[in-house]
Amino acid sequence: MMNQMLKTIQNRQSARSPYDVHRAVEKDEIGQILEAARWSPTAHNMQNFEIIVVDDKSLLKKLGDLKSPVSRAFILENHALLSFSVEELKRKKVGILGTWFPRFMRDLSVKPKPEELTSFGQGSLVKKSPVLLVVVYDPVKRAPASKGDTLGFMSLGCVMENMWLMASSLGLSFHIVSSFNDGAVETKVKRILGIPKNLKIAFTCRLGYSSTHERYMRVRRDIEDFTSYNIYGEKRR
């Protein structure tokens, strides 16, 4: 019988669809997600993170109205991770289906219109989300002797994973809003939410209940594809 935790991990997904604006996220549910974050493993138990719970509709609208243009670098690097058929995605075992993206991001010969580069952002989804969780950290504080604070960033990843798995176990939808990490947009987000200048946004997530029950195709490499035994590249006979 499969372990329940493993089932939760396998069922976790990024819910990119709009959320039901008429269905609130209960305080107890948010509390459990924050409790999961509280017990995340962090390097040297630094706990170098703060979380802002945003559920004020006027603030959500202000955040959703922020423009975040799609860069050429993102378009090119994202394109390299796309598959253009289910068969291709199954064969690669990594990346995502290109159907999630507008034509100009699927076909690099198509020149996007200026409005497409700004409207592609996640603003409309943010405005219609019941709750945003904004996780910030102090970049000056770092794990001892951790070059580039690798261990610190890994710790923030643990916080994200704990929150995500708890949300998934509660039946809540969860989606990372990556556009708020952009330099110019981040500055505006910090101003709206009163975040001190010395802190940086690690990640922001939308929390709610998806208005659709559509599940998209997810692929993973097989265990033998990434596992070696004793010596790199050595496989079990």
Q: Say which DSSP state 136 is in.
A: E
Taking only the tens place, the pLDDT of each residue in 23-69 is: 999 999 999 999 999 999 999 999 999 999 999 999 999 999 998 88
Q: Where are the domains of the chain?
A: 11-68+122-213, 69-120
Could you tell me what percent of the chain has a pLDDT over 70? 97
Superfamily of domain 11-68+122-213: NADH Oxidase (3.40.109.10)
Read off the tokens for 225. Answer: 């594809």
Instruction: Please return the burial class of 163, using the count of CB atoms within 10 Å of its CB with bins 0-12, 13-18 and 19+.
Output: buried
Taking only the tens place, the pLDDT of each residue in 184-204 is: 899 999 999 999 999 999 999
Q: State the Cα–Cα distance between residues 63 and 126, nearest whole angstrom.
A: 7
pTM over 0.75: yes
